Structure 1
Amino acid sequence: MPRRWNCRGPRPASSSQPSREREREMEARSPHRSAETLTQPEVLAGPETLDPPDWSFVAALAHRIVDDAVDHVGRVRERPVWRPMPETVDALFRAPVPDRPTPVEDVYRLVKDAVLAYPMGNIHPRFWSWYMGSGNFTGALGDFLAAIQGSNLGGGSHAAALVDQQVVGWLRDMIGFPETASGTLVSGGSVANLIGLTVARNVKAGLDLREEGVAALNQPLRVYASDQVHSCHRKAVETLGLGNRALRRIRTDSRYRIDVAALRAAIGEDRTAGMRPACVIGTAGTVNSGAVDDLSALAEIAVEEDLWFHVDGCIGALISIAPQNAWRVKGIERADSVALDPHKWLHAPFEVGCALVRDRTKHRETFAVSPEFLQGMPRGIASGQWLHEFGFQTSRGFGALKVWMALMEHGVAKFGRLIDQNIAQAALLANLVRSHPPLELIAEPEINIVCFRYVPEGLSEERLKEINVEIMLRLQETGVAALSDTTIRGKHCLRAAICNHRTRPEDLTLLISEVLHLGREVSQT
């Protein structure tokens, strides 16, 4: 049986106590101290710490955790993608905050039995639901080591800050941005897009917006995007004080790309109406169907109309490194800012996104605040770069290490091949759909998202939606596969987003077989 340790037990002996601590010990032994001082609880009990009294026990537990983690990932195919949680597990997470300690081995047992056993499922090879990467074990080790080091990425002169900026530089190079561009790692695409749009707003406002605020705008700003733009952009313009109406959605063409002629017309209309066109958002991979806007055409319009050109590349920016498909995002290198997500096609464990800005000076001017406690020094810890000057956060975790370690292990070329592999798998799935009626392909896949549905003859759209939703839910509940659903041009459909380095062709064949089986079963009820 594992040995339990007492969280209030004695500290292990140290051969190098700080001098102040030695002074306190000497004072405690001094006969000149008063009885009142000697009876203080903190003196009698000694200082508390979160460190264990027995590091060898923790080492053994840590080894066990790593062994279990290797087994968890290595045998992922043997488990269902997802499964419902029983009431006993659900109840565990409604319990009040604990007042008294629980032995750490018991805490880990709860994690293993009630947390690891009921995942969302995105590391599974048949998870194709929301657009997520599937992680990698080296990246998970990177997260662990980052937490052990405990560095705060607000800035300063230390190795974590250098790793962070090296990763930003690598991402910058991947999409073809100049070396003079800047960037910041963030939690994900929503914040990365908000960073880019904040710089765009401030640069194009025509006044010092940081001092005056949006109330001082003499013309309402306009931001343009396709009607397929991600919902995070609505949140962004609302957060920036511009309001949802500032985001003008432009109709899309037959391939679900922004209609360039309609965009030009909208810009002209807004200028005539006294608006101030400020920014156009190009989407490199829409969330519904994976459509990629004509980024080169948008870059031209941005130059002609004096607009900030932002690219939401959270899905597809990294296609830039895919040898067979990089042409699909040509023009992204001309953007003023780009949002991308290493936790998608670089398969970094959640969470890590990145905002890149071409003009470093404009980027810094949008966010930099330097109170005395955050000013640089010629030497010492504060002599490094202050990373907080390029985003909202002053404190930030060391998310770069997991990306750095995985790129060092595999090289960027392998990640490019994996992107090509997923795009090829989407084409394979689309062909399987075409060859298995009554399945219907709703949109030709441009990259790695396939939209399709089960369509028996003679049924209404309402009934077809009921059937396909039930197929989706049964796939999830049986643990066979995880799909999501969407509606494209009035047609509800199933959506498979293949952003998974573990997916194999036989997984796609199994999906088609199960959808056909469940479709027949559901449509007859």
Structure 2
Amino acid sequence: MSFDTGTPDDTANQPTLDPKDWAAFRASAHHLLDACLDRLTSAGEHPWQPVPQDVRDSYRLSEDGADATDLASTLRDQIMPYATGNTHPRFFGWVHGTGVVEGLMSEMVAATMNANCGGRDHGSVYVEREVIDWARRQMGLPSSASGVLVTGTSQATVIALSTARHKVLGADVRRVGNSDHKLTVYASTQVHASTQNALEIMGIGAEGLRLLPSGADGLDVSAMRAQIAEDRANGCVPFAIVGTSGSVDFGTFDDLTALADLARDEDLWLHVDGAFGAWTRLAEDPWRALTDGIDRADSIACDFHKWMFVPYDCGLVLIRDEADHRATFANRPAYLSSMENGLAGGDPWFCDYGTDLSRGNRALKAWCTIRAHGAKGLGTAITANCRQAALMGQLVETEDKMALVAPVVSNLCVFTADATLSATEQSALNTRIAQDLQMRGLAVFSTTTAQTPDGEDVTCLRAAITNHRTQAEDIEIAVQSVADCRDAKL
């Protein structure tokens, strides 16, 4: 088959997608940058707000393009105002990171470079290696450990548990899969859903996840030891323990030292889900001590975009044994062969350590954040958030009707607005309060479910403070807003 490519004159001056008027584009870009900086300098004035229908309609794409001025105006007026609001100092929902202004600079440079960080020899690869090595040092893993930046802890968990499986089953797992092996993983009832998702993706299935009792002190190690023995007796193949450093519901931490001892005794892989809690390694005591033992993990999953305040998205997986890590994922076809020199050099390539061949430049925003603030500055912000959660807990306990439903361990405070009501009434009230405060732009709490002393489920207000802009005054305003909203509902 052949194609008519036209005459030489037809191909001599093909249009590019670059601006026809660079001066106009430059002016529009500068105006937009100023608008971005204006918004960040006034973050406290920009809570979440619903997106009106006419604004949604304006997002419709057409066959024709828009010039730079129109595009910049649309970004400024129709898109930027309708964010999740997590840059606001009273945003405490879920576990959303706040971002830092250095991210704005780094993302602009990353887009300009447009580097594919799957491999090869260029500056962004060396930046990523330094970010990974910096994190490795903070966690106390050996210099021989490896890592890769990913979308978040969910992807990191797949990579970590896949590496653990490869270590147990050997190279054949890449050819024949799990075969007839009844693989099992052990975690607490507080483990994040991403662990189950990973096992489902890996073909192990949710039935391969054993959830053990968890209390204020974390996972019941004795119960786990007994479950491992029972599973082995029944022909299962235990291969990993997942320790939780910072549960999403209540901010609890498993005893990683005890889990590391158990993993050693049972010859199992120890993976730590430290999506946000791993970064208490940078905090002051007593919060730093929550992750004692993390240096003994075989793998760690965590997010820069949560409690390290890096703009979304930027997660990390660290693997103690680089050889295990590489053997699990390396699979380069001929067209990706590396060379000793030139752009095709730079071994090892990051595509050998994960699922992605094409990878954006996540490292630069993490590198800029760490370069700007250092471990000390970031640790100070993390410590402040823990103190703010403790303050919120104290305010809740001094309020007549409010009550904590779990101890404040780290940066999470979970409570009910009126403990004098029935569980059903509390659930309805707490849900209404969370919604009302969001709609009015006063504060963002999310909700979770806890149990009353009588064993009834109750929906509670939940604050996860991963916000470097939060001040003590914001905590006081938020708790008072809950009380005001509650009293207005009665």
- Normalised-by-shorter TM-score class: over 0.9
**C-alpha displacement of 1:279:** 0.3
Counterpart check, 1:273 vs 2:234: yes
Residue in structure 2 matched with residue 182 of structure 1 by the alignment: 146
Which amino acid in the other structure matches residue 278 of structure 2?
A
| Aligned counterparts of 1:159 and 1:414: Cα–Cα separation in 2 | 26
**C-alpha displacement of 1:381:** 0.7
| Aligned counterparts of 1:161 and 1:213: Cα–Cα separation in 2 | 31
Residue in structure 1 matched with residue 156 of structure 2 by the alignment: 192
Counterpart check, 1:168 vs 2:132: yes
Residue in structure 1 matched with residue 33 of structure 2 by the alignment: 66
Which amino acid in the other structure matches residue 145 of structure 1?
V
| Aligned counterparts of 1:456 and 1:380: Cα–Cα separation in 2 | 67
Residue in structure 2 matched with residue 508 of structure 1 by the alignment: 475
Residue in structure 2 matched with residue 32 of structure 1 by the alignment: none
Task: Go from structure 1 to structure 2 and tell me whether the alpha carbon gap of 1:207 and 1:266 turns closer, same or farther (over 3 Å shift).
Answer: farther
**C-alpha displacement of 1:514:** 0.8
Counterpart check, 1:371 vs 2:333: yes
Paired residues of 2:141 and 2:320 also in contact (CA < 8 A): yes
| Aligned counterparts of 2:283 and 2:322: Cα–Cα separation in 1 | 27
Residue in structure 2 matched with residue 452 of structure 1 by the alignment: 415
Cα deviation, 1:171-200, whole Å, max 9, x if unaligned, reads: 111111111100000011110111111101
| Aligned counterparts of 2:45 and 2:265: Cα–Cα separation in 1 | 56
Residue 81 of structure 2, aligned match among 96, 113, 117: 117
Residue in structure 2 matched with residue 298 of structure 1 by the alignment: 259
Residue in structure 2 matched with residue 19 of structure 1 by the alignment: none
Residue in structure 2 matched with residue 231 of structure 1 by the alignment: 193
**C-alpha displacement of 1:321:** 1.5
Task: Go from structure 1 to structure 2 and tell me whether the alpha carbon gap of 1:207 and 1:69 turns closer, same or farther (over 3 Å shift).
Answer: closer
Paired residues of 1:433 and 1:440 also in contact (CA < 8 A): yes
Question: Aligned with 2:463: secondary structure?
Answer: strand
Residue in structure 1 matched with residue 222 of structure 2 by the alignment: 261
Residue 314 of structure 1, aligned match among 270, 275, 283: 275
Residue in structure 2 matched with residue 404 of structure 1 by the alignment: 367
Report the RMSD for the aligned CA atoms in angstroms.
1.3
Residue in structure 1 matched with residue 19 of structure 2 by the alignment: 52
Aligned residues: 478
| Aligned counterparts of 1:379 and 1:116: Cα–Cα separation in 2 | 44
| Aligned counterparts of 1:184 and 1:249: Cα–Cα separation in 2 | 28
**C-alpha displacement of 1:59:** 1.6
Residue in structure 2 matched with residue 130 of structure 1 by the alignment: 94
Paired residues of 1:175 and 1:321 also in contact (CA < 8 A): no
Residue 209 of structure 1, aligned match among 148, 159, 173: 173
Counterpart check, 1:480 vs 2:442: yes
Residue 82 of structure 1, aligned match among 38, 41, 48: 48
Paired residues of 1:154 and 1:395 also in contact (CA < 8 A): yes
Question: Aligned with 1:117: secondary structure?
Answer: helix
Question: Aligned with 2:270: secondary structure?
Answer: strand
**C-alpha displacement of 1:160:** 0.7
| Aligned counterparts of 1:286 and 1:202: Cα–Cα separation in 2 | 27
Cα deviation, 1:15-73, whole Å, max 9, x if unaligned, reads: xxxxxxxxxxxxxxxxxxxxx837x6445xx2110111222222211211111111000
Identical counterparts, % of pairs:
38
| Aligned counterparts of 1:205 and 1:222: Cα–Cα separation in 2 | 13
| Aligned counterparts of 1:268 and 1:378: Cα–Cα separation in 2 | 50
Residue 104 of structure 1, aligned match among 68, 71, 84: 68
Residue 333 of structure 1, aligned match among 272, 295, 298: 295
Residue in structure 1 matched with residue 344 of structure 2 by the alignment: 382
**C-alpha displacement of 1:513:** 1.0
Residue in structure 2 matched with residue 246 of structure 1 by the alignment: 208
| Aligned counterparts of 1:263 and 1:37: Cα–Cα separation in 2 | 74
| Aligned counterparts of 1:482 and 1:227: Cα–Cα separation in 2 | 26
**C-alpha displacement of 1:345:** 1.5
Paired residues of 1:136 and 1:349 also in contact (CA < 8 A): yes
Cα deviation, 1:131-163, whole Å, max 9, x if unaligned, reads: 011000111210110110111001111111110
Task: Go from structure 1 to structure 2 and tell me whether the alpha carbon gap of 1:373 and 1:409 turns closer, same or farther (over 3 Å shift).
Answer: same
| Aligned counterparts of 1:456 and 1:499: Cα–Cα separation in 2 | 26
Paired residues of 2:243 and 2:259 also in contact (CA < 8 A): yes
Paired residues of 2:188 and 2:211 also in contact (CA < 8 A): yes
Which amino acid in the other structure matches residue 108 of structure 2?
F
Q: Structure 1: where are the runs of 5+ without partners?
A: 1-35
**C-alpha displacement of 1:207:** 6.1
Residue in structure 1 matched with residue 123 of structure 2 by the alignment: 159
| Aligned counterparts of 1:177 and 1:287: Cα–Cα separation in 2 | 24
Task: Go from structure 1 to structure 2 and tell me whether the alpha carbon gap of 1:170 and 1:456 turns closer, same or farther (over 3 Å shift).
Answer: closer
Question: Aligned with 1:355: secondary structure?
Answer: strand
Cα deviation, 1:365-423, whole Å, max 9, x if unaligned, reads: 00001211111111111110211000000010011011111211111111011111110
**C-alpha displacement of 1:256:** 5.9
Paired residues of 1:205 and 1:278 also in contact (CA < 8 A): no
Residue in structure 2 matched with residue 519 of structure 1 by the alignment: 486
| Aligned counterparts of 1:179 and 1:420: Cα–Cα separation in 2 | 27
| Structure exhibiting the larger radius of gyration computed from Cα positions | 1
Residue in structure 2 matched with residue 20 of structure 1 by the alignment: none
| Aligned counterparts of 2:298 and 2:158: Cα–Cα separation in 1 | 14
Paired residues of 1:228 and 1:256 also in contact (CA < 8 A): no
Cα deviation, 1:214-240, whole Å, max 9, x if unaligned, reads: 2x23x3010011011111111100000
Question: Aligned with 1:323: secondary structure?
Answer: coil
| Aligned counterparts of 2:281 and 2:34: Cα–Cα separation in 1 | 36
